[in-house]
Structures are given as structure tokens and as C-alpha cells.
């Protein structure tokens, strides 16, 4: 179905408007989902770190390091948690889940309790590390590393669902606007055919008498224009017949 030239700019404007709406909505979804999921994962990991800190105080005071290791091994099985380690107040290692050994990037890094740090460990990946002090830091601190790859996957899945819905709405809106614009353009095209009918009734694009009558009976602006054309045509014919 061909769009009338009169409405081509209108259609382009509608496409552009819907495109801007889709892009801005998608960008907002990406930002919102990213922020919410990242905040949620960080809050959950911080809660885990605090739980381990509260549970390990007596174990550390009793120097039962095997029990301490068993404790953090249990939490490492939780989704999104990539590594856990505990250091004492002097920064000495008490327990960790690194295999086969502690990455040098963490050994040399600042391990300030309570801080949130982004780390990139060769061979392991990218992580967000949160920590919690044990007895306000007097007995050391617990550090929990979250896998950013898993967080990114969750974000992509959530965003993908949003984008899928927005894309469907965008396509349906474009098709709907196309049909509506053509619905509005059709009477204009028929009006042109009526003008041709008045001038040359046998022309290929002229209206039939029934179509012309239906156009004249319309109560909208198109009908008004058709009646005006007929009036002008009749006046023109009268002027030609006048002596």
C-alpha cells in the first residue's frame, strides 16, 4: 500500500517519535535493571559477609581454623559468590576458598573492612568484593567476592525480556500508525479522483457516479471540499454558457 506524498513526512515523524520512545525506554530499562540487580547482589553479599563475621567470632578466638574453613566453604556454594576469605586484625590469612592459591592481586591489595572494591583477577574473572569487620575490626574481617559475569548475565536476561516487549510494542505501533495514516490519506486520494471526475469523467482515475455521490454525502472536511469542488465546477460551467 503506497503512502500519499502528503503524509510521507507525517509517517517519518511518527517512525522517528516511536524510535526515540523505544530507545529512551530501553536505555531507562537498562539503567534501572542494572542498578537494581547490582545493588541487590551487593546487599545480599554484604549480608553473607556479616553473617560469616558474626558466626566466626568464637571460632577465631578459639583458633579453630578447620571449622572456620568449613564455614566459608558452605557459603561459597551460594549462587554468585565466587570466593570468600578471612584475615585477622593484622592482615594475616585465616581461611580462604582460592584454589590452588591466593591470587597475588589480592595479596597485595588494600583490604579495608567495609569497603566495596571491583577486582579483576587473571584466570578468575571480574568481581565485586564486599567485606564486613569482625568485632568492629578487632578480630579481623570477612571478604566476599561476587562474580560480575553472573550479575551481567542476570542483567542481560532481565533487560532482554524488557527489550523484547518494547520491540513488539514498537512494531505494532508502526504498523498501526501506517494503517491509520493510509486510512486518513484514502479520502484525500478519492477527493483528487472526484476533481478529475468533474473535469474528465472518463479519465482512468476518475470516480464512478456512485463513488462521487458517496463522497459528496460525507459530513467531514473531505465532503465539504467535494461539495465546494462541485459548486465551483457548476459556476464555471454557468460562466461558459453565459453570453
pLDDT tens digits, one per residue of 152-192:
777 777 777 777 887 788 788 778 877 877 777 777 777 77
| Separation CA 2–CA 57 (nearest Å) | 77
Q: What is the pLDDT of residue 11?
A: 73
Whether pTM > 0.85 for this model: the answer is: no
Domains of the chain: 8-155 (3.30.450.20)
Q: Answer whether 106's CB lies under 8 Å from 22's CB.
A: no
pLDDT tens digits, one per residue of 105-134:
888 777 776 678 888 877 777 888 888 888
Q: Answer whether 201's CB lies under 8 Å from 210's CB.
A: no
Taking each helix axis from N to C end, the angle separating 209-216 and 221-241, rounded to the nearest 10 degrees, works out to 120
Taking the chain (243 residues) in runs of 10, the rounded mean pLDDT of each run is 62 79 78 80 85 83 82 81 86 85 81 76 81 83 85 76 79 80 76 76 71 80 81 66 43
Q: What is the pLDDT of residue 238?
A: 57
Amino acid at each position: 500500500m503506497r503512502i500519499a506524498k502528503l503524509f510521507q513526512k507525517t509517517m517519518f515523524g511518527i517512525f522517528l517519535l516511536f524510535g526515540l520512545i523505544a530507545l529512551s525506554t530501553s536505555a531507562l530499562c537498562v539503567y534501572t535493571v542494572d542498578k537494581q540487580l547490582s545493588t541487590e547482589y551487593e546487599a545480599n553479599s554484604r549480608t553473607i559477609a556479616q553473617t560469616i563475621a558474626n558466626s566466626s567470632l568464637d571460632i577465631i578466638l578459639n583458633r579453630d581454623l578447620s571449622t572456620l574453613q568449613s564455614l566459608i566453604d558452605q557459603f561459597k556454594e551460594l549462587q554468585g559468590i565466587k570466593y570468600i576469605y578471612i584475615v585477622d586484625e593484622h592482615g594475616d590469612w585465616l581461611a580462604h576458598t582460592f584454589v590452588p592459591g591466593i591470587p597475588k592481586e589480592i595479596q597485595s591489595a588494600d583490604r579495608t573492612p567495609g569497603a566495596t572494591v571491583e577486582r579483576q583477577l587473571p584466570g578468575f574473572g571480574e568481581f565485586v568484593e564486599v567485606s564486613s569487620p569482625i568485632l568492629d575490626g578487632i578480630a579481623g574481617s570477612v571478604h566476599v567476592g561476587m562474580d560480575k559475569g553472573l550479575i551481567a548475565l542476570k542483567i542481560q536476561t532481565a533487560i532482554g525480556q524488557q527489550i523484547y516487549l518494547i520491540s513488539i510494542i514498537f512494531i505494532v505501533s508502526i504498523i498501526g500508525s501506517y494503517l491509520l495514516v493510509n486510512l486518513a490519506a484514502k479520502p484525500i486520494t478519492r477527493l483528487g479522483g472526484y476533481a478529475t471526475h468533474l473535469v474528465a469523467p472518463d479519465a482512468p482515475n476518475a470516480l464512478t457516479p456512485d463513488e462521487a455521490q458517496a463522497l459528496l454525502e460525507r459530513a467531514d472536511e473531505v465532503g465539504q471540499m467535494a461539495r465546494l469542488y462541485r459548486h465551483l465546477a457548476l459556476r464555471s460551467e454557468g460562466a461558459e454558457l453565459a453570453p
